[in-house]
Amino acid sequence: MRAVHVPEPGGPDALVVADLPAPAPAPGEVLIDVVASAVNRADVLQRQGFYDPPAGATRVLGLECSGRVAALGEGVEGLEVGQEVCALLSGGGYAEQVAVPAGQVAPVPEGIDLVTAGGLMEVFCTVWSNVFMTAGLREGETLLVHGGSSGIGTCAIQVASALGARVAVTAGTPEKLEACRELGADVLVNYREQDFVEVLTEADARPDVVLDNMGAKYLDRNVRVLATGGRLVVIGMQGGTKAELDLGRLLAKRASVTATSLRARPAEEKATIVAETVEHVWPLLESGAVRPVVHTTIDLEDVQEAHRVLEESSHVGKVLLRVR
């Protein structure tokens, strides 16, 4: 089968499309004929040699996919060969076929085409598990999303807004901020020109929950801007890994800081996240209250270009990979 791997870490040119052995479904797994996948920041880090897959996982890139069920491993129930599905992966989405635990497979939401579905699982599972399952965002509270125009950002804005939260975002250009506003963001901060702590304080929009992809660079300001009882959830380290934390400020606010990752969680935890995401978010997608935001769709053979687009950071929403 055709699949993308990285013989040696490096830039986008390190990505190689090659013929690799096709997977077979183990007991409890589903084999999927892949129609589409998507490019995520974790894929870029893996390509650069900074983010190895979990033990036992394939080294083929790709943390999500959509496609059709090709075969069922022993003991799998509730799915049928030929069914259109999407899946949360530990790796392997940049390929013609992938085997995945059945609990990480979901039906494609009604009204969503199969290619677009290739970019659903990683972002919606990340948002639901962090903003709602971990941080417990509630109706009437305020969510701050850093990188509001990213795949995760465009998802978080819409889901939080649809469920009755106020949403603040940071982004780097007026065009990206306008895209966030159109998706439902209430407070807009251009991080290149403004300090989000000052803007949110003046707007009386101190967040109850912060979804942060920057890590060290924003840690102090994230804690300073939190409302009393606020919850900071760190899901990325684009701004570094080490920073000083003012425990006194954290204690005074009765606040919390949590750092999570999705990829390395046990299959049982991922199955729970997928089930909750399908229960709570799929109805929003099917009703049109939330929509997938796709910046561009690029063929698998042009995967190097897809990575360049993501790294340029001019995109709004997801960069999809189509497998022909």
Nearest alpha carbon to residue 170 among 238, 251, 246? 238
pLDDT value of residue 278: 98
What is the mean pLDDT of the segment spanning 112-139?
98
Closest CA to 146 of 201, 190, 178, 182: 190
pLDDT tens, position by position, 215-257:
999 999 999 999 999 999 999 999 999 999 999 999 999 999 9
Q: Which CATH class is domain 2-120+291-322?
A: alpha beta
- Computed over every residue of the chain, the mean pLDDT equals 97
Say which residue the tokens 């760190």 belong to: 234
Question: Per-residue confidence at 273, pLDDT binned at 50, 70, 90?
Answer: very high
Topology (CATH) of 124-259? Rossmann fold (3.40.50)
Model confidence at 75: pLDDT above 90:
yes
Portions of the chain given CATH number 3.90.180.10:
2-120+291-322
Largest pairwise CA distance in the chain: 58
User: pTM value?
Assistant: 0.96
Express each pLDDT in 23-65 by its tens digit: 999 999 999 999 999 999 999 999 999 999 998 899 999 999 9
Question: Is it the case that residue 14 has pLDDT exceeding 90?
Answer: yes
Q: Which of 113, 89, 116 is closest to 31 using CA atoms?
A: 89
Residues of the chain with CATH 3.40.50.720: 124-259
Question: What tokens does 109 get?
Answer: 């939401």
pLDDT of residue 324: 81
